[in-house]
Structure 1
Amino acid sequence: MEVILIQDVDNLGGINEVVNVKNGYARNFLLPSKLAVENNASNKKQLEERLKQAKKKEAAMLAVINDVVSKLSASPLKIGAKTGTSGKIFGSVTNLQISRAIREQKGYEIDRKKFRLLKKLKN
Structure 2
Amino acid sequence: MKLILTHEVTGLGAPGDVVEVKDGYGRNFLLPRNLATPWTKGGEKQVESIRKARRAREIASLEEAQQVKQSLEARTVRLQARAGQGGRLFGAITPADVAAAVNAAGGPSIDKRKVEIAQPIRATGSYKVDVRLHADVSAKVTVEVSPSAV
- How does the TM-score come out when normalised to structure 1? 0.46
Whose radius of gyration is greater, 1 or 2?
1
Q: Using CA pairs below 8 Å that are at least 6 residues apart, which structure has the higher relative contact order?
A: 2
Q: Which has the higher strand share?
A: 2
Structure with the higher helix share, 1 or 2: 1
